[in-house]
Each structure stands twice: as C-alpha cells, then as structure tokens.
C-alpha cells in the first residue's frame, strides 16, 4: 500500500475515542480563478506528455499498489458500483480479493436525484443511497485495515443524512481506528432556486432555450455537477470516506489521482487523462467484460472482477481487474466502454476540464491489462451544468402475452380493442405507445416483418398524460381483455400496472462562481 | 461483396436524454476506412427510418478505429418520459449492426479479430 498518513490522521488514531469538532473548510476555487494564466504550466508541460509509442514496453504483472520513486508510483482505483442497484458483491471483492488504494462507488444517474428527492420529501432523513451505508458497515474493518479510501456520490440529495446513518451503522463497530468521513455539500440548488432566478439566472433548457420559470412550480430537484476539487480537499483533510452529492461520475476517479499526484487544477492534459480513467471506471463491469458484444459467450460473468485503474503520475494508466475473478479486460471491452454515452469525443465537458478523447491510444498487454494514453485537455468552462428534474404528468405501462397460433395477430387485435375502449371512454393522453415484445419491440422495422408462427408475443402498451385519473383508468382496462379479448392470453400475474410520476429532465448551465462559493467540505471522525 | 456490419464490427449504445449514441468499432484497423466511407450520417439516418426522428451526427475516432453516432430525437422523450421498452437505447448498437455495406472481396479472408496494434 502507499504510505499516506497525513499528520491529522495519526493524531486522530491516538484519540480514537473522542472525535474532534467538525472541521469545515470553505472550498476555494483553484488558482485559475485568481486571475492568473489559464494556460497549462509550460514548466511542467514536458513532464506530463505521454511517452512516445516506441518507448512503451509491456508492463510486468501488477505489483499491487507499491511505493517506489514517484515516477513509478502507481495508484489503484477500483470501481465498485456503476449505478444505484448495481451488484452488491462487487465492492467487497474489490477490497478483499486484491490490492486497491481507492474504492470508487458511483450511484447517481440523471434521474436518480429526483427519486432521492422524492424519498427525502417523505422522510427528511432519507434521500441518499441506503445500500452504501450497509456496504460501508460490512466493509469498515477491511477498509481501515487495508487503508482503502472510499470516494462515492452516495450522498444523493442528502449527504449529511447519509453520514448520520453511517455514523449509526459504525457506532457499534470495534475498529482499529475510527474512519474519518468527509461530506461535500453545495451542489443542491433546490433551496436557492427562486433567489437564483430573481438574480437573473434563468437556467434555460440547454436544448429548447426555455427559461426554467416555465416549469418552476413543478421542479423536483436541482443540482449542479461539482468537479473533483472538493474531493481533493476532503482527501487532503485525511478523509477515509468521501461522501458527495451530485459530483460528476468521473471526478470520483480522478479526484484521488489529483490528490495523490498533486496534479494542478490547471494542467488540462493531466486532468483529461484522469477524466478518461473516470469514464472507464464509472459504469462498473461494463469496462471489464459486462455487456461486451465481443466474445460474450466466453466471458465468465458469474463472479466478475470490476475494473481497476492503475494510474501513474504522468496520467498514463492501465485498466485491469483482480486476476482470480471473472470478467475480462481487453482492447475491445475498454473501447466499448470508451464510446459508451459519448457525444462529440473532442469536446467532453466536465466541471474541471474539457477532455479530447479523439487521440486516445490503447495497448492491449494481454492478461486483462490494457494501457491507455494520449488524451488531451483544454481549459474548463466558466459555467457548470445543472441537472434539474420536474414533474411532467403521469404514465403507466402494462402487458399481456398471447400464445401460438397467430400470436402476433392476436396481440395486434388486442391493441386495436384496447385503443377503441380508451376512445369509447373518452380518455385522452399525450402519448399512447404499443410495442410487440418478441416481434420487433427493440429494433422495430429493422427486424423485418414479424413471423406468422411466433411461439408467443407480448403486447406492451403504455400511456402518458397530465390527467392522473385517465392514466389510472387505463391501468384498469388491461385485465378485462383476458376474458373480453382475443384468445390464448396470459401474463397478467403482476396485477394492474402502477401509475408512475413522470419526472422530466431539464439540463441547464449556471455561472461557476455562484455555485462554488457555497461548496463546503466537512470532515469528522465517526 | 455485401456484408452485415455485424461481421466486421461491434458496437455499444447508450442515451443522453432523447438522444441515442452508438459507438461502432471495427474488429480490425484495416476495416476502419471502409466504415468511414460506407457508414455515413445519411445512411444511418435512412437505416433508422421510423426510429430516429431527428438528425444523425457522426464523429471519428481513428485511433480506436471507431465511429460515434448521435441519433437525436430517438428515445420517445428519453428518461422517465419515454414509454419505450428500450428508453435508454441499449439495443440500438445491434440494430446498427444489421446494416449491410459493400466491402472488397478479400476482406473476410484475413483472420477476423486481432488486437488493436499499438
């Protein structure tokens, strides 16, 4: 393991019993905000360039996270969760089945924040990933003993609540040392939304250009995407566990690299390489053989190893996994993840840097090791993205399954009958969508005409509209088709479909300064 | 000779709001120029007729011998608004691999899948 004992840590190890008062630091923007040059420091420019390709030699097997001269020092960041609901065993395997320095746990997708906001409205103590608390309680001893630090956005819309729950969960644990836990706050703009709008921040929709005022009364959550700097601050304060709200997924990986290698917040090329590492880590097993189209039959995914980034101070890194677990890391699995959810590869915008993925080079070293180099970066933008969710009506989706013979024709007829009944009842919706599962629901017309002797076809119908009553009534119109519809029907065991709130997404931009002056990092020993 | 993209490339797809992205990756670097020439924005738009209701954008990643496509207005509104079974565009990748393109006669004679050269 890397020896990394900030002085504050040892002090607290000695005073494990009585926790020091909370240490609250206003996070300050990087030096670029001070009016200095925005250009990369030319003095260090040469040192951060990738070595030329000829100098690349296949790496030896991983030595684990071993300290050496700084140029050789390697930091291993294991990915443990790619979304809220990912495999619970993965982080345990990352910690217990080999050496890592950091465990990265990503819980947040665009829509997750609004789900958590809804939970918080019902229970002010909720609004974070509860799985995370149980996981940390189970892993606490291993984490302390192995000195593995955790960086996670599990805090959702209530990072403080997450820490409180973690405190309760860890209280009864006898540990060699009390874990130091940092909470990053300031991404949540919900409470200051009216103030912001009044001050002229219109939060216009990035695609439509409409001001947020249009849907203000229906907003469910509003969070700015924070970058890595508060994470770095937390790690500098000696945090063993960093809990954030809406940090970017990639920052959870490159924040630790900035901290460990003392990367400047203005070294755009280094930051961009870190962003690439984060992009590879952020979807869990998707970089180590999961959802891989190439060789999917041959990849053992029963107990897969999730990806591990082995990074050096020059920003080059190797993607790998623990050797005695399933999964696979090849140029193909890494490339698939690199292009996943990609926009313009030369313009990958994060709060800390604009990364250019177009010059990335991969070198497959064999034995589940792929070397990644070549990403470059440009100066970060002056604005941060804000993820806003707002209520936009209701929807429900239900299904019925028709069996051979003429399964498709029966499902089609059922669709006609159902639509006629909705019409007869005078129900109006913004959208009615029918799909025929087993007969081209995924690839539509590209799948060709449905066969006429399919063994079964599932009719899947959904409606969406502003009138909750109409949507509710729709959910009662499926079951009658069992007795009053086409023959040989089944698949209604689940009962009536559920009426769901539609929570729409409103991406916007806001001046960086407005958010960053409110960002706080609070660190205490639990 | 006419082949399905599935024979010479692989892909992964995902979503950003109502836009689907598809990364198309050549099995071998030598196939990449053929993808660049044949799998144009226009052809992809035509291929996804009835599915993609917006424009198609293409970006080139020569080092990874990959193309990235953005299919706008394709996911029924995206997120929780969408009523689609595949609201996140996860299956768009293999839908693209159904496309047939013209390739040189000898293309498939060389070994099919090799690691990317350094």
Q: Where are the alpha helices (DSSP H) in A147-267?
A: 159-171, 193-198, 229-236, 251-261
Whether pTM > 0.90 for this model: the answer is no
How far is the CA of A154 from the CAs of A109, A246, A310, A432, A504, in angstroms?
Answer: 11, 9, 23, 36, 22
Residue of A257, A274, A278 whose CA lies nearest to A74: A257
Question: What does R_g of chain B's alpha carbons equal in angstroms?
Answer: 15
Give residue A57's pLDDT: 38
Of B15, B86, B116, the CB nearest to A442: B86
d(CA A150, CA A228): 14
The pLDDT of residue B1 is above 50:
yes
**Which candidate in B51, B64, B94, B100 is best for mutational testing of the A interface (most A CBs within 10 A)?**
B64
Token readout for A248 is 């970017």
Q: Are A360 and B63 an interchain contact pair (Cβ–Cβ within 8 Å)?
A: yes
pLDDT in tens, chain A (526 residues): 333 333 333 333 333 333 344 444 433 333 333 333 222 233 322 222 233 333 333 343 344 444 445 678 999 999 999 999 999 999 999 999 999 999 999 999 877 888 898 899 899 999 999 999 999 999 999 999 999 999 999 999 999 999 999 999 999 899 999 999 999 999 999 999 999 999 999 999 998 999 999 999 999 999 999 999 999 999 999 999 999 999 999 999 999 999 999 999 999 999 999 999 999 999 999 999 999 999 999 999 999 999 999 999 999 999 999 999 999 999 999 999 999 999 999 999 999 999 999 999 999 999 999 999 999 999 999 999 999 999 999 999 999 999 999 999 999 999 999 999 999 999 999 999 999 999 999 999 899 877 789 999 999 999 999 999 999 999 999 999 999 999 999 988 778 999 999 989 899 999 999 999 999 999 999 8
Asked if A206 has any chain B CB less than 8 Å from its own CB, the reply is: no
Q: Are A344 and B59 an interchain contact pair (Cβ–Cβ within 8 Å)?
A: yes
Token readout for A464 is 């969406």
What is the greatest pairwise CA distance in chain B? 47
Chain A residues touching residue B59 (CB < 8 angstroms):
342, 344-346, 358
d(CA A331, CA A289): 11
Q: pLDDT digit string (tens) for A440-466? A: 999 998 998 777 899 999 999 999 999
Of B15, B61, B83, the CB nearest to A397: B83
Instruction: State the nearest Cα–Cα gap between B105 and chain A, in angstroms.
Output: 24
Structural domains in chain A plus CATH codes: 7-14+65-187+226-381 (no CATH), 387-506 (3.30.70)
Q: pLDDT digit string (tens) for A494-509? A: 789 999 999 898 999 9
Q: Are B51 and A445 an interchain contact pair (Cβ–Cβ within 8 Å)?
A: yes
Of A336, A344, A397, the CB nearest to B23: A336
Token readout for A171 is 């209280």
Looking at chain A, which residue has its C-alpha nearest residue B75?
A442
Give residue A10's pLDDT: 35
d(CA B96, CA B6): 8
Chain B residues touching residue A359 (CB < 8 angstroms):
63
Does a cis peptide bond (omega within 30 degrees of 0) precede residue A405? yes
Give me the sign of the Cα torsion angle A229, A232, A236, A240. Answer: positive
Give residue B115's pLDDT: 47
Q: What is the ipTM of this complex?
A: 0.94
Give residue A109's pLDDT: 85
d(CA A216, CA A190): 11
Asked if A431 has any chain B CB less than 8 Å from its own CB, the reply is: yes
DSSP reduced 3-state for A490: strand
d(CA A3, CA A11): 16
> What kind and span of H or E run contains A91?
helix A89-96
How many C-beta atoms lie closer than 10 Å to residue A367's C-beta? 12
Give me the sign of the Cα torsion angle A8, A12, A14, A19. Answer: positive
> What kind and span of H or E run contains A525?
strand A520-525
How many C-beta atoms lie closer than 10 Å to residue A342's C-beta? 23
Asked if A294 has any chain B CB less than 8 Å from its own CB, the reply is: yes
**Which candidate in A339, A347, A465 is best for mutational testing of the B interface (most B CBs within 10 A)?**
A339
- In A25-64, the residues whose Cβ lies within 8 Å of chain B are 53, 56
Token readout for A161 is 């609540």
Q: pLDDT digit string (tens) for B42-82? A: 999 999 999 999 999 999 999 999 999 999 999 999 888 99
Q: Are A345 and B61 an interchain contact pair (Cβ–Cβ within 8 Å)?
A: yes
How far is the CA of A509 from the CAs of A143, A271, A353, A505, A512, in angstroms?
Answer: 37, 21, 15, 13, 9
Asked if B71 has any chain A CB less than 8 Å from its own CB, the reply is: no
Of B64, B80, B83, the CB nearest to A335: B64
> What kind and span of H or E run contains B66?
strand B66-71
Q: What residue segments make up the domains of chain B, in order of their start?
A: 2-103
């Amino acid at each position: 393991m890397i020896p990394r004992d900030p002085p504050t840590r040892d002090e607290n190890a000695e005073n494990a019993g009585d926790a020091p008062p909370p240490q609250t630091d206003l996070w300050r923007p990087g030096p670029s905000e001070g009016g200095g040059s925005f250009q990369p420091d030319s003095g260090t420019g040469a040192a951060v360039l990738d070595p030329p390709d000829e100098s690349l030699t296949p790496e030896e097997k991983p030595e684990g996270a071993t300290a050496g001269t700084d140029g050789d020092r390697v930091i291993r960041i294991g990915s443990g969760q790619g979304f809220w609901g990912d495999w619970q065993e993965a982080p345990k395997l990352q910690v217990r089945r080999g050496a890592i320095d950091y465990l990265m746990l990503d819980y947040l997708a665009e829509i997750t924040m609004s789900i958590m906001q809804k939970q918080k409205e019902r229970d002010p103590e909720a609004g974070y990933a509860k799985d995370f608390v149980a996981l940390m309680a189970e892993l606490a001893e291993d984490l302390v003993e192995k000195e593995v630090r955790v960086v996670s956005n599990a805090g959702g819309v209530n990072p403080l609540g997450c820490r409180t729950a973690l405190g309760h969960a860890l209280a009864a644990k006898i540990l060699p040392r009390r874990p130091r836990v940092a909470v990053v706050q300031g991404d949540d703009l919900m409470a200051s939304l009216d103030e912001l709008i009044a001050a002229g921040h219109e939060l216009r929709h990035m695609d439509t250009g409409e001001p947020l005022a249009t849907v203000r009364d229906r907003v469910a959550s509003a969070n700015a995407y924070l970058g890595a700097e508060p994470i770095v601050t937390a790690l500098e304060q000696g945090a063993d566990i960093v809990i954030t709200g809406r940090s970017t997924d990639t920052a959870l990986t490159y924040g630790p690299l900035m901290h460990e290698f003392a990367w400047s917040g203005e070294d755009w090329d280094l930051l961009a390489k870190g962003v690439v590492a984060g992009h590879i880590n952020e979807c869990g097993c998707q970089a180590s053989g999961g959802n891989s189209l190439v060789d999917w039959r041959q990849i053992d995914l029963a107990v897969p190893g999730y990806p591990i980034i082995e990074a050096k101070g020059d920003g080059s890194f190797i993607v790998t996994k623990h050797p005695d677990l399933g999964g696979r890391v090849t140029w193909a699995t890494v490339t698939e993840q690199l292009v996943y959810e990609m926009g313009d590869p030369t313009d990958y915008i994060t709060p800390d840097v604009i990364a250019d993925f177009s010059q990335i080079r991969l070198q497959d070293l064999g034995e589940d090791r792929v070397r990644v180099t070549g990403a470059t970066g440009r100066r970060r933008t002056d604005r941060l993205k804000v993820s806003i969710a707002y209520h936009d009506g209701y929807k429900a989706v239900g299904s019925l399954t028709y069996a051979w013979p003429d399964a498709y024709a029966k499902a089609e007829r059922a669709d006609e009958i159902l639509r006629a009944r909705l019409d007869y009842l005078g129900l109006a919706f913004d959208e009615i969508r029918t799909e025929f599962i087993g007969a081209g629901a995924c690839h539509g017309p590209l799948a060709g005409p449905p066969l006429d002797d399919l063994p079964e076809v599932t009719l899947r119908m959904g409606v969406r509209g502003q009138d909750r009553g109409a949507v509710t009534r729709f959910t009662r119109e499926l079951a009658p088709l069992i007795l009053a519809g086409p023959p040989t029907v089944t698949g209604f065991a689940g009962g009536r479909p559920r009426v769901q709130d539609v929570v729409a997404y409103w991406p916007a931009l806001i001046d960086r300064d407005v958010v960053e002056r409110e960002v706080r990092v609070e660190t205490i020993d639990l | 000779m006419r082949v399905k993209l599935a024979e010479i490339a692989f892909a992964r797809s995902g979503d950003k709001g109502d836009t689907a992205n598809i990364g198309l990756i050549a099995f071998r670097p030598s196939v990449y120029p053929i993808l660049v020439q044949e799998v144009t924005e226009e052809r992809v738009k035509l291929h996804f007729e009835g599915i993609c209701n917006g424009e198609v954008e293409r970006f080139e990643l020569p080092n990874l011998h990959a193309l990235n496509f953005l299919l706008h207005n394709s996911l029924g509104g995206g997120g929780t608004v969408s009523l689609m079974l595949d609201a996140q565009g996860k299956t768009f990748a293999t839908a693209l691999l159904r496309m047939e393109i013209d390739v040189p006669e000898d293309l498939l004679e060389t070994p099919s899948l090799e690691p990317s050269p350094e």
